[in-house]
Amino acid sequence: MAETPIEFHEEHVPGFLIHHKQDPSQMNVFHRHQGYEIVWLKAGEALYVFEEKVYHLRKNTILLFKSSEFHRVSLRDGAAYERVVVMFTADFFSFDHVLLKSFFHFMDQLPFPHFKLDLFVWDTDTFQAMIDNLLFESNHKNNWQQKAALEIYLMELILFLSRSMNIDQQANHKLDRVSEQQNPVDFHDQIVKEINEVWNTEWRLDTIAEHLHISKFYLCRFFKKEFGVTIQEYILQRRLFEANRLLTESSLTVHEISEHVGFQSASSFIRRFKERNRVTPNQYRKKQQALRDSK
């Protein structure tokens, strides 16, 4: 039975968005969008997969990251997934502030543009109050000075997170650097790291498995179970993700891009690209250019 293709998705997100969801639905594709994202897992567990890093979220874990990173969520079958998600872009704010500058600078200086925080029990009420303020304002469009209120409450949330990041930095803790015995997610990191070393080459499954000291059969089963896609599908999505970026941000030809991202021929690249994006690479490039020109 042929596997259903999974598309790479590039979301459009407004300057600010917040939602509280309790259903287990998820975007089962790798995607990205501009700005920053704050995820507070209130119940259950989830695996957040990035290009070079994997995070295992449990109850009262907060994950803050740049949304422009290639990412997806993977859930275990039947697992609870209650979360609050806040998305915002830098241009949402109508003013400059030293706190915002410090926050953006800190995110730029991290080894990976992600920060994971395990919320202490005594901090949950404080954090919940900030979220409640944002949810209330977001759900009442006719409130006087709603935009200004959202900016203030979001600044309060950023202050809370920035202080937590600053404390972590001062204590000289390495983010998520624990032994494999303490946190099995490190094995996910190893797998992603190995695959990301070869995603744009003529890679071999045997070689990846050998580097990880496991059998290729175990690797395939483990990857599909944990990440929700096959290794082949992950690599294809990674190649098309990079192709999208190069078509938007560079002047490389379609042929040059196809070589750069690891396709054996330009015709194979164009066919795969059109299957996933429903347009050819050149059509996609023209569309992105038109969007930029209209701004």
Q: What is the pLDDT of residues 139-178, one digit of tens each?
A: 998 899 999 999 999 999 999 999 888 776 654 444 344 3
- pLDDT, residue 254, reads 94
The pLDDT tens digits for 31-64 are 888 899 999 999 988 889 887 788 889 899 999 9
Find the largest Cα–Cα distance for the chain. 62
As assigned by CATH, the class of the 185-293 domain is mainly alpha
- pLDDT, residue 121, reads 76
Residues 6+ apart with CB under 8 A from 131: 18, 20, 40, 84, 86, 157
Strand partners, 118: 61
* Helical (H) or strand (E) element with 269: helix 266-277
List, by residue range, all CATH 2.60.120.280 domains of the chain.
9-170
Neighbouring CB atoms inside 10 A of 253's CB total 12
- pLDDT, residue 11, reads 54
- pLDDT, residue 174, reads 42
- Give the residue ranges of the chain where pLDDT is below 50: 1-8, 171-182
- For residue 34 the two structure tokens come to 């501009």
Neighbouring CB atoms inside 10 A of 258's CB total 24
Residue labelled with tokens 């303490």: 182
CATH number for the segment(s) 9-170: 2.60.120.280
List, by residue range, all CATH 1.10.10.60 domains of the chain.
185-293
Residue labelled with tokens 């993977």: 74
- pLDDT, residue 13, reads 62
How far apart are the C-alpha atoms of 147 and 141, rounded to whole Å?
9
- pLDDT, residue 168, reads 63
Nearest to 47 by CA among 215, 245, 192, 218: 192
